[in-house]
Chains A and B, each alone.
Chain A
């Protein structure tokens, strides 16, 4: 116990900064992931066969391979052609990964909106994109918040895997800390606490968002 506290105090110049990097990495990749997810979700529900196929293959590949493999391929494969900063290589890999899962969340949420909503909007002369943007998506967004929150937490924890391409975020710093002080167990416990704190922060924010939305959701039929 003393040792854990000792390590905690001795790493105050390392881990908080690493935690901040983890947070930046996560937020960047999730925002990007939402963007990718929305586009892929539209591909999935599109009547265009080609777009459909692209989305299905993308989701299939991402869900079918481990994140660590995806990170490695992106880092060593693509980064050898195009130069990314380490941060962007990691963020992009995580975004592409999360994007596939978020796409399925958005697709489900869009399809959960009653068909009559789209029909009513179209019957008033609204075009498909306008009806989607003004009528369907605002409602779908509400449906997507709980699963999206779940995915955000998973995304936060999964960001630890970019440590293996040399990024000194939380887990990466934990690894090097443990290697230099030879106190593996205690160091990892401290890292665990930082993750727990970040996840609790995320959960708190998500709960708040969900609550605010549910005030509105009461207005749903």
Chain B
């Protein structure tokens, strides 16, 4: 579904991704973990081309994406993203946030888009908030709306960039719950998170990053009980 090969990305003199190779298959949930500054978020942002990379190749659904030649907007329609800071549109209510892209990008009929949006809100447990504005929602609610907004475009792949890192601890659960549900439904997901419990329970594969490289990858049981790389052991000792 996603094939990344030899991905290199620098910010100025600092190389944050030093040749990443990663394949994500359909319906797979890949959780990327690692210390901050290890390049996890940058890798995720490269997958939907929010970040321009210097070298390497990304193919999505067997199509090699060349940023200069491909309509990236079309690619992004297929790759939903959820951000750490939600990034809801503050001048639009919840329903308008969700139907914005279906109506203006996919040219979907407004009433139809709204109906679908309400179904998505039902799914994330926020149907009663359809007409609320983002500023009147809690962090957890905002993030659930953001997930619904991304899902409204019917993406094939969902990227989550530390979706619970900006939340109060007691609000983390409700967001993870929605993500678990999504994983169960067979969504292909790439998740950057510090939630080890979620990683262990939901991931099909753990990818451990450090210094811009993938240091270790494997099924969660193996990774959490018997990490091979010294840095992975160190990291787990600190977070568990």
> Chain A residues in contact with chain B, CB under 8 A?
114, 116-117, 119-127, 130, 134-135, 138-139, 142, 216, 218-221
Contact B90 A124 (CB under 8 A): no
B223 at the interface (CB under 8 A from A): no
Collect the chain B residues with CB atoms within 8 Å of residue A122's CB: 50, 73, 76
Contact A135 B76 (CB under 8 A): no
In the complex, what distance in Å separates the CA atom of A123 from the CA atom of B81?
6
B101 at the interface (CB under 8 A from A): yes
Beyond known contacts A114-B87, A122-B50, A142-B91: 18 more, CB 8 A cutoff: A117-B89, A119-B50, A120-B89, A121-B101, A123-B76, A124-B100, A125-B106, A126-B73, A126-B105, A130-B105, A135-B100, A138-B91, A219-B90, A219-B91, A219-B133, A219-B135, A220-B90, A220-B91
In the complex, what distance in Å separates the CA atom of A152 from the CA atom of B88?
32
A-B pairs with beta carbons under 8 A, tally? 75
> Chain B residues in contact with chain A, CB under 8 A?
48, 50, 73-74, 76-77, 79-81, 83, 85, 87-91, 100-101, 104-106, 133-135, 146, 149-150, 153
Contact A124 B91 (CB under 8 A): no
**Distance of A118 from chain B, by nearest CB (Å):** 9
In the complex, what distance in Å separates the CA atom of A215 from the CA atom of B163?
30
In the complex, what distance in Å separates the CA atom of A114 from the CA atom of B35?
26
**Distance of A130 from chain B, by nearest CB (Å):** 6
Contact A123 B48 (CB under 8 A): yes
Given contacts A117-B89, A123-B80, A123-B81, are A221 and B73 in contact (CB under 8 A)?
A: no
In the complex, what distance in Å separates the CA atom of A127 from the CA atom of B105?
8
Collect the chain A residues with CB atoms within 8 Å of residue B153's CB: 124-125
